[in-house]
């Protein structure tokens, strides 16, 4: 594989720097749009930075390169996390980020493959991405391609039955090219998951569906990188990482705070957030 198609192999400090920059983009983007989902973007961004910084093989110059690894962001409301990394990887420019949610913007409210180079799935309706990823992984296997498909879902999202249909099917078809990451931030839209409908021991449940599973601290960069490498090399069937995270991670007043699931920071809040992230 030539050009920019190889893995990026960023170091731990580089990844930490990368996710910090992404966090700043996230809060700025959402503040600027006056709407968006900071909580689930900030909980996921360390993992996403590590994924793009160490695992995914793609070409910025050729976003549709058919043998690229796929990243299916199933919890599509966390789009600012995706746009921030796509910006850092050279798919989007600063101006694109500033148009987030505006009419005609390449940065649609929820990630959309039809609108944005580098986006592999059109999300927004929760519960569909793992099935889509399964389709991508099955196609890769039929093509005898080693490309990988990584899917990220939220812990509230797995209340959708379709997720469990896909878990069952991926095991039955023994699709080892499919890798799942669960952002276990314990909060969903209205409230904490254990108030809305607790999903319990997610790792055991997914394991019971036949997957290889690991649990990690989703903000410990070394643990993340190591787990991604493990999943990447897992060839006996589909593999999953249950990442224990903090919703709103990095901005004190957003952390563990259900009210920042889908609310933009105001001017003062943005200032405070950027101070904390500097």
Partner 1 sequence: MSAPSTGGASRDGYGSALLRLSADPRVVVLEADLGKSTKSCLFRAEHPERTVSLGIAEQNMMLVAAGMASSGKVPFASTFAIFTERAFEQVRNGISRPGLAVHICGSHGGIHTGTDGSSAQSIEDLAIYRTIPGLTVITPCDDLSAEELTVQLLDHGNASYTRTARNKTPRMYDSETVKSLEIGKGSLLREGGDIAIVACGVMVSEAMEAAELLEGEGISARVIDMHTIKPLDSGILDDARVNCRGIVTAEDHSVIGGLGSAVAEYLATKGGFPLRMVGVNDRFGESGASSELMRHMGLTRNEIIAQAREIINSV
Q: Does 79 bind partner 1 (CB under 8 A)?
A: no
Q: Shortest Cβ distance from residue 112 to ligand TPP (Å)?
A: 13
Indicate which of ligand TPP, partner 1, none lies near residue 189 (CB less than 5 to 8 Å, by partner kind): ligand TPP
Cβ proximity to partner 1, 64 vs 191, nearer residue: 64
Q: Please give the full DSSP string across 116-136, using - where no structure is assigned.
A: STT-----SSTT-HHHHHHHH
Q: Computed over its alpha carbons, how large is the radius of gyration of the chain?
A: 17
Cβ proximity to ligand TPP, 176 vs 245, nearer residue: 245
Cβ proximity to ligand TPP, 53 vs 156, nearer residue: 156
Candidate list 49, 56, 152, 169; residue touching partner 1; CB under 8 A: 169
Closest CA to 74 of 40, 125, 109: 125
Cβ proximity to partner 1, 178 vs 231, nearer residue: 178
Q: Does 120 bind partner 1 (CB under 8 A)?
A: yes
Q: Does 173 bind partner 1 (CB under 8 A)?
A: yes
Indicate which of ligand TPP, partner 1, none lies near residue 156 (CB less than 5 to 8 Å, by partner kind): ligand TPP
Q: Which residues contact 238 (CB under 8 A, 6 or more apart)?
A: 137, 170, 171, 174, 175, 176, 178, 179, 180, 210, 211, 212
> What is the rounded distance in angstroms from the CA atom of residue 136 to the CA atom of residue 163?
15
Candidate list 155, 215, 223, 269; residue touching ligand TPP; CB under 6 A: 155
**Interface map 37-66 toward ligand TPP (x if CB under 6 A):** x-xx--x-----------------------
State the sign of the Cα–Cα–Cα–Cα dihedral 242, 248, 250, 256: negative
Question: Could you give the angle at which helices 79-88 and 38-50 cross, rounded to 10 degrees?
Answer: 40
Closest CA to 23 of 75, 83, 70, 71: 83
Q: Does 168 bind partner 1 (CB under 8 A)?
A: yes
- Give the Cβ contact number of residue 194 at 10 Å: 11
Closest CA to 182 of 95, 66, 73, 93: 73
Candidate list 10, 49, 107, 126; residue touching ligand TPP; CB under 6 A: 126
Cβ proximity to partner 1, 15 vs 166, nearer residue: 166
Residues that bind partner 1 (CB under 8 A): 66, 70, 72, 112-114, 120-122, 124-125, 127-129, 131-140, 142-143, 149, 161-162, 165-166, 168-169, 172-173
Residues that bind ligand TPP (CB under 6 A): 37, 39-40, 43, 75, 77-78, 124-127, 154-157, 183, 185, 187-189, 247, 261
């Amino acid at each position: 594989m030539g050009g920019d198609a190889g893995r990026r192999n960023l170091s731990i400090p580089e990844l930490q720097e990368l996710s910090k920059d992404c966090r700043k983009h996230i809060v700025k983007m959402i503040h600027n749009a006056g709407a968006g989902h900071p909580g689930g973007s900030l909980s996921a961004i360390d993992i996403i930075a590590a994924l793009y910084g160490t695992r995914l093989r793609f070409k910025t110059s050729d976003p549709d390169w058919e043998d690229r690894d796929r990243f299916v962001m199933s919890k599509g409301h966390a789009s600012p996390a995706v746009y921030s990394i796509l910006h850092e990887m050279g798919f989007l420019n600063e101006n694109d980020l500033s148009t987030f949610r505006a009419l005609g913007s390449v940065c649609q409210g929820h990630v959309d493959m039809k609108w944005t180079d580098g986006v592999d799935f059109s999300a927004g309706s929760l519960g569909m991405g793992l099935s889509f990823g399964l389709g991508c992984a099955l196609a890769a296997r039929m093509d005898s391609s080693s490309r990988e498909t990584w899917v990220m879902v939220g812990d509230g999202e797995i209340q959708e039955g379709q997720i469990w249909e896909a878990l069952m099917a991926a095991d039955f078809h023994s699709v080892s090219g499919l890798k799942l990451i669960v952002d276990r931030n314990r909060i969903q839209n209205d409230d904490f998951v254990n108030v809305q409908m607790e999903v319990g021991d997610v790792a055991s449940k997914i394991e019971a569906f036949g997957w290889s599973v690991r649990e990690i601290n989703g903000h410990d960069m070394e643990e993340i990188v190591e787990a991604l490498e493990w999943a990447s090399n897992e060839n006996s069937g589909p593999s999953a990482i249950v990442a224990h995270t903090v919703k709103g991670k990095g901005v004190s007043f957003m952390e563990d705070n259900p009210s920042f699931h889908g609310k933009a920071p105001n001017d003062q809040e943005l200032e405070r957030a950027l101070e904390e992230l500097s």
